[in-house]
Every structure is written in C-alpha cells, then in structure tokens.
C-alpha cells in the first residue's frame, strides 16, 4: 500500500493529518484523516471511522474535547473514505442487488482492512496491535459493514458501532448473519454500540427493532452492549450524536476494555 502525505489540518480544532493511500488489493485510492492526541504515548486504541469524509471532523473534534475534559481515554482516530469515485455501494455491501448492481465488494474490503490498512497504521502510528483495542464505527451502509465484521469476521475489531445500520439489505441478509452466529456460538466477546433515530424510515426501523429483540435474547456472557434510540432525530442527524456516544461507551474512563 502506497502512501502520500497531503496536508496538515486543524486550524481552530485538533491537529490532524490527511494521507492518500493506494490499495493494491482493491486497485484504488482512499483518503485517510488521522488524529493522534499529542503526548499520549504508545500502544493507543484505534478508532476507525467509515465514511470519514462525512464524519471524521466531527468525531475528532468531539473526541478531542472529551479527552481534554478527562471523559475518555486517549486513542488514535482514523477516518477512511474513497479518494475519487464513491465506492461505498461496492465496499460496504456483501452482494449485488437490483438497487446496488455494483455491490458485493464487502469481503474484499475487509481483506483490505485486515491485510493492508491495519498493518500500515500499526507500523506508523502509536497504535496497539491488540484487536480488542480496535473500534470501528459505521453508519447506514457503513453499519451494514460493521455488522458483517461483528458476525462474519469476529475478532478483527474488539468494538463495533452499528449506527442506523442497513439491516434491510438484500432481504435482511445481515439478520441471517446474526442468526447463523448465534446457532454456532455460545458467546460473543466484543463491545457493540447500536443506535437509530426515532424519525427514520420504516425500512431502517423495522429490521433494527427485530435485531434488538433477537440480540437481547442471546445473553452472551462476554458481550458489552449499549443501544439508544434518539427521539426527534432522523437518519443523518442521529449519526453525529451517536458517533460521540459510541466513543464514550467504548473509551470512557470507567470502561476497562
């Protein structure tokens, strides 16, 4: 994976860097925005934010404020987004459908995260290589991707944020992943934050409600789960609030993980 430093940002906010990265596995470029808390030492947790172009600036700013207020532990925040064309409809989806004819790239995207991105980040930034200290946050189709990681690639990330996840995708395929996992596992040793806006479309709310019901019934001893429905907020407006709440849930001072 080739890297090129593009810029240093952060005027009036936390200092961040931006890089262009090329994935040999996927054959395309991505943009990384990176926040490293100053003077924080080594072996820090990692937070990977999907759709970084939309959410990284807000996440980094909120996290920096909470870090200085002593509400969260130090961590490196990385936002990732496609560099040129919008590839989320391919990268975040497990199958091609009539609505997403270019879909089906999720498994290869996760391979990119595991084989190229994570080793590169761990080699260049003060990040621990302990999977339990890795957090991934995804909204909408990004939440679909994080649900895949939770149930189909368990152990790659220790904490998973499913924000307004597209559990409706391909006739509820992600709900099948949850059922399949539960049928073969007695435990799910992970952290999970799931959320939805109360004013979202029924296509989001209905499968999310079913997911909550099923997930609650599993009683996994190693699971640390937080969930919230945001009154008065919709699909996009709830995402920004939930990103911050997820960071406090996973990295709050009282959280031993």
Residue range 30-88, pLDDT digits in tens = 999 999 998 888 999 999 999 999 999 999 999 999 999 999 999 999 999 999 889 99
Quote the tokens at residue 159: 């904490």
Q: Do the domain assignments include residue 140?
A: yes
Is residue 68, in this structure, part of any structural domain at all?
yes
In a domain, 257, yes or no: no
Residue 40: Cβ within 10 Å count: 14
Q: How many domains does the chain have?
A: 1
| Domain presence at residue 52 | yes
Q: Is residue 141 part of a domain?
A: yes
Average pLDDT, the chain: 94
Q: Identify whether 72 is part of a domain.
A: yes
Q: Is residue 162 part of a domain?
A: yes
**Model confidence band, residue 4 (pLDDT cutoffs 50, 70, 90):** low
The domain of 32 spans: 2-251
- Residue 107: give its domain's CATH number: 3.40.50.1820
Residue 10 has pLDDT above 50, yes or no: no
Q: Contact 174/164 with Cβ under 8 angstroms?
A: no
Other C-beta atoms closer than 10 Å to the C-beta of 104 total 17
**Residue 256 included in any domain:** no
Q: What is the pLDDT of residues 157-205, one digit of tens each?
A: 999 999 999 999 999 999 999 999 999 999 999 999 999 999 999 999 9
Query: CA distances (Å), 166 to each of 58, 72, 152, 175, 245, in order?
Result: 22, 29, 16, 10, 20
Could you give the residue ranges of the DSSP H alpha helices within 69-222? Answer: 88-91, 106-112, 118-124, 141-152, 169-184, 202-218
Per the structure block, which two tokens stand in for 66?
Answer: 């909470």
DSSP characters over 90-132 = HHT-SS--SS-TT---HHHHHHHIIIIIHHHHHHHSSB---GG
Give the DSSP H or E segment for 195.
strand 191-197
Which of 209, 106, 83 lies closest to 153, judged by CA?
106
pTM of the model: 0.94
């Amino acid at each position: 994976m080739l890297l090129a430093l593009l810029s240093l940002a952060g005027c009036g906010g936390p200092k961040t860097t931006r890089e262009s990265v090329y994935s040999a596995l996927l054959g395309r470029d991505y943009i990384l925005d990176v926040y490293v808390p100053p003077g924080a030492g080594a072996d820090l947790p990692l937070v990977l934010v999907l759709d970084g172009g939309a959410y990284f600036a807000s996440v980094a700013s909120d996290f920096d404020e909470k870090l200085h207020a002593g509400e969260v532990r130090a961590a490196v925040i990385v936002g990732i987004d496609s560099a040129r064309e919008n590839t989320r409809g391919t990268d975040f989806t497990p199958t091609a459908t009539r609505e997403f004819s270019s879909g089906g790239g999720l498994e290869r995207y996760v391979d990119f995260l595991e084989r190229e991105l994570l080793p590169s980040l761990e080699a260049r930034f003060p990040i621990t290589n302990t999977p339990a200290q890795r957090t991934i946050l995804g909204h909408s189709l990004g939440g679909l991707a994080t649900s895949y990681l939770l149930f189909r690639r368990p152990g790659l990330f220790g904490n998973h944020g499913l924000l307004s996840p597209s559990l409706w995708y391909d006739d509820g395929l992600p709900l099948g992943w949850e059922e399949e996992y539960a049928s073969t596992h007695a435990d799910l040793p992970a952290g999970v934050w799931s959320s939805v806006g109360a004013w979202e479309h029924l296509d989001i709310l209905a499968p999310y409600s079913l997911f909550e019901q099923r997930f609650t019934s599993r009683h996994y001893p190693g699971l640390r789960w937080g969930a919230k429905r945001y009154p008065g907020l919709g699909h996009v407006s709830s995402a920004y609030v939930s990103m911050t709440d997820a960071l406090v849930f996973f990295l709050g001072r009282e959280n031993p993980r």
